[in-house]
Chains A and B, each alone.
Chain A
Amino acid sequence: MSLFSDEHILVRDQARRFLAEQWCAKKHRALLEAPGSGDAALWHAATALEWSAAAVPPAFGGAGPDWGTVAVLAEEIGRGTATGPFLVSWTAGLVIARFGTDAQKSRWLPRLADGSLKVAFAFAEADAPFDAPNTRLHNGRLTGHKLAVPFGGEADLALVTADTGRGAGIALVPLDAAKRTAAPSIDNSRGAVTLRFDDAPAEPLGTEALWSMLETAWVLTAFEQIGGARACLMAARDYALERRTFGQPIGRYQAIKHKLADVYTAIEIAHGNALVALTEIATTGRAPLAAAAARYAATQAYDLAARENIQVHGGIGCTWESDCHIHYRRARALALELGSIHWARERVVEALCSEKTQ
């Protein structure tokens, strides 16, 4: 089964043009100096292109779920280091459509589809594993503290991991009742805030949604990471063709050629894993092994591509004015926001080595 058709080539080309027009490194640098902020104009313009509709079923005003479009757009967002809660919006749409009650679907999906609702995914806590959060949901009220939530500043609704009394699950929490504090980070273009909930009104999406939410986010983010990695590879390639030392372009030296061949290899391996995971999660809503493998591979690829892009650029790559650090930051932010690579590795190894997988 292929989730992609010729139509997706058009979607990709349109998205690439759109982001090139709407998003630029200058705007990006301004965000880097404004922790917790976002870019409402980009979100608005993308909504006009119906990006937000891609994951929501037609019954609720969407045009999906179109996994191919979501993956293609995620990759373009990564390539352009765009900001905004696009991936988490698609993830929420997919997960609410699968696990939500009829009332939840009617309430949230149309607003996700038309882009009037922005969401964030809040799971990280100081001292609690993913599936045993200290945040508690009790009698429709949520109490807890979540770290560095991307796009938490601009979001209207958070999908929050919480102890539901019947195990860890996802709670839907309108953010007007949350205390938000901007979280200065290595990549302030992620609009991260800490969220404090004190008896905030919330409703359970269910315990089954927990891993599906994470795995879906991992898979879509893998495409974003691959897009970012490809951008780094092309930037390094272009610079290697242009920059000359000792009488020839540096791209003629094997030290550079082999480095970039290794980056290419890591990206293609990541892409293969992402495609496998996308197909599986589109079919079943879960991909315990494949999603973790996709995250593990894509995180490695983007980190490698971002740091070697700077290396190829040399001194100029280390400056604020160069675009290299935009990817260097973004690669790390994406590597950490959804949990470290060690966690993904452990999920892969556990799935392969033990019969039981969550």
Chain B
Amino acid sequence: MTMDVNAYRTAAKVWLNDHAPKFAGAARRGLAPAADLALGRAWQALKLEAGYGAITFPKIYGGADGSVIEKLVFAEEEVRYDVPRYFSVSLGMPIPMLLRYGSEADKDRLVSRALRGDDIWCQLFSEPAAGSDLAALRLLAVRDGEGWQLRGQKLWTSWAQHASWGIILARTDSTVPKHRGLTLFFVDMRSPGIDVRTVRSISGHSAINEVFFNDVHVPDAQRLGPVGDGFRLAIETLMIERYAVSDVSGFGPGLADFIAFAKRQGGGAALLDAAVRQAIADTYIADAGLGSIHERALEAIAQGQEPGPEGSIRKLLIGRKRQRLSALAMDIMGPAGVYYDPADQTTESFQASWLEAPGVRIAGGTDEILRNTIAERILGLPQDVRSDKDIPFNALPG
């Protein structure tokens, strides 16, 4: 790692130390959703002003024209604070795709607003019958004069309830096999015919939504890439954030928190239990191993190389790790482990962490799909049998 990166990290640490506490932890506790969102927008605007809000984006839109390594280093430092993250989707995937495939006029009109946090963008990919099997999606885009009409339903859309815009994957041709009939658009979320309904997650919180499209008009100018090229572009979208930094604890209480907790229980008696000790050791090696993998990935990126494929085990581990430690902490509490306050943050409360842990193992690639990916892409084992592969979408059963 070069001196420049170290200097950048030090400066980022100092800046975060000065500013982040006002937007994290106690500052967020008990805030109504609207107030938390306002706090999130203020945090994004402040970061942008300091050169940290859109590190890799072009200067003409308000970005910092920085390197991927700077983005990752800042994210590593920022992840230590539980600041609002309403813009993680916006700036992670939709806006980079708009920059790659949007018209100059649209970029001028929309990108700087998104970087400042004025607009939130969502990503409308998954549907009730299309999660892991994204190409099975059914939402239709039907020709409508110079544009298109969207008809159907999306699901699991993060931040759609706050979003001004979204990128959306739709079926434009049902007469060809499923992967080949999709097209990518962006859509104004304030258009007539859009109905956003929040889905309560297990914890009772609401960051995800189902979104209904009832003949929603989209101009053809808001198409991203060629008609029929949507699946390839969707995969490209998902690959952009491949090396995103995530908290190694999976945004739950970390190992240090667990150990501190276990030390307080029964005058330290909990720490004498073999199952507890095993969990501590298992979690430690997972964290240390992932830390080493991450460090090597950063070094590779800093030298302009592709990181090794081993980074793909990260998400497979963090969800299960968080689920195990959280449940174990509750077991140690015994009957008192049932107490839960919905206002608790998942980073602080084992109950809140445990309630949301299943989602970590599903969102953005289920444990099972991730294992398939490792087996196929890294180990070279064959793809599962796909009986629908070469059949036109409208000829598929069900």
Give chain A's interface residues, CB within 8 Å of chain B.
Answer: 2, 233, 237, 240-241, 248-249, 251-252, 254, 256-258, 260-262, 264-265, 268-273, 275-276, 290, 293, 296-297, 345-346, 348-349, 352-353
Residue of A nearest to B379 (CB): A237
Measured CA separation A265–B296 after assembly (Å): 16
Contact of B285 among A252, A254, A262, A296 (CB under 8 A): A296
Top 8 A-B residue pairs of the complex, sorted by shortest distance between their CB atoms: A272-B292, A272-B289, A269-B289, A257-B375, A261-B371, A261-B374, A251-B381, A297-B285
Q: Is the CB of B288 within 8 A of A265?
A: no
> Could you give 17 example pairs across A and B, Cβ below 8 Å?
A233-B379, A251-B382, A257-B372, A260-B379, A260-B381, A261-B379, A268-B289, A268-B313, A269-B289, A269-B290, A272-B293, A276-B291, A276-B292, A293-B288, A349-B271, A352-B259, A353-B263
B44-74 CB contacts (< 8 Å) to partner A: none
How far is B317's CA from A293's CA once the two chains are assembled, in angstroms?
A: 17
User: In residues 343-398 of chain B, which contact A (Cβ within 8 Å)?
Assistant: 368, 370-372, 374-376, 378-385
Which residues of B does A touch, CB under 8 Å? 255, 259, 262-263, 271, 277-278, 280-281, 284-286, 288-293, 296, 299, 310, 313, 316-317, 368, 370-372, 374-376, 378-385
Set B259, B277, B374: member contacting A264, Cβ < 8 A: B374
Contact A293 B371 (CB under 8 A): no
Name which residue of chain A comes closest to B299, CB basis. Answer: A2
Point out the residue from B292, B376, B381 that lies within 8 Å of A273, measured CB to CB.
B292
What is the minimal beta-carbon distance from A350 to any residue of chain B, in angstroms? Answer: 9
How near does chain B come to A125, taking the closest CB pair, in angstroms? 24
Q: Is the CB of A257 within 8 A of B290?
A: no
CA distance A276 to B292 in the complex (A): 7
Q: A268 touching B291 by the CB < 8 A rule?
A: no
Query: Smallest Cβ distance from B157 to chain A, in angstroms?
Result: 28
Contact A352 B284 (CB under 8 A): yes
Contact residue among B262, B299, B313, B368 (Cβ-Cβ distance under 8 Å from A265)? B313
Q: Is the interface of B mostly helix, strand, loop or mixed?
A: helix
Is B291's CB under 8 angstroms from A345's CB?
no
Q: Taking the nearest CB of chain A, how far is it from the CB of B307, in angstroms?
A: 12
Q: B262 — nearest CB in chain A belongs to which residue?
A: A353
How far, in Å, is B149 (CB) from chain A's closest CB? 39
In-complex Cβ contact of A258 among B263, B371, B383 (8 A):
B371
Taking the closest CB of chain A, its distance from the CB of B2, in whole angstroms, is 13
Partner of A345, one of B278, B293, B383: B278
Contact A252–B289 (Cβ < 8 Å): no
User: When the two chains form their complex, are residues B317 and A265 in contact, meaning their CB atoms are under 8 A apart?
Assistant: yes
Q: Are B277 and A345 in contact (CB under 8 A)?
A: yes
Across-interface contacts of B380 in A (CB, < 8 A): 237, 241
| CA gap between A276 and B368 in the complex, in Å | 29
CB-CB under 8 A from A270, the residues of chain B are 285, 289
Contact: A293 with B383, CB < 8 Å? no
- Chain B hits for A273, CB < 8 A: 285, 288-289, 292
Which A-chain residue is minimally distant from B279 (CB atoms)? A349
Partner of A272, one of B259, B263, B290, B384: B290
Q: Collect the chain B residues with CB atoms within 8 Å of residue A265's CB.
A: 313, 316-317, 374
Q: Are A264 and B280 in contact (CB under 8 A)?
A: no
Instruction: Kindly state the separation between the CA atoms of A230 and B198 in the bound complex, as whole angstroms.
Output: 46
* Chain A residue with the shortest CB-CB distance to B373: A261
List the B side residues contacting A297 at CB < 8 Å.
285, 289
A276 engages B379 (CB within 8 Å): no
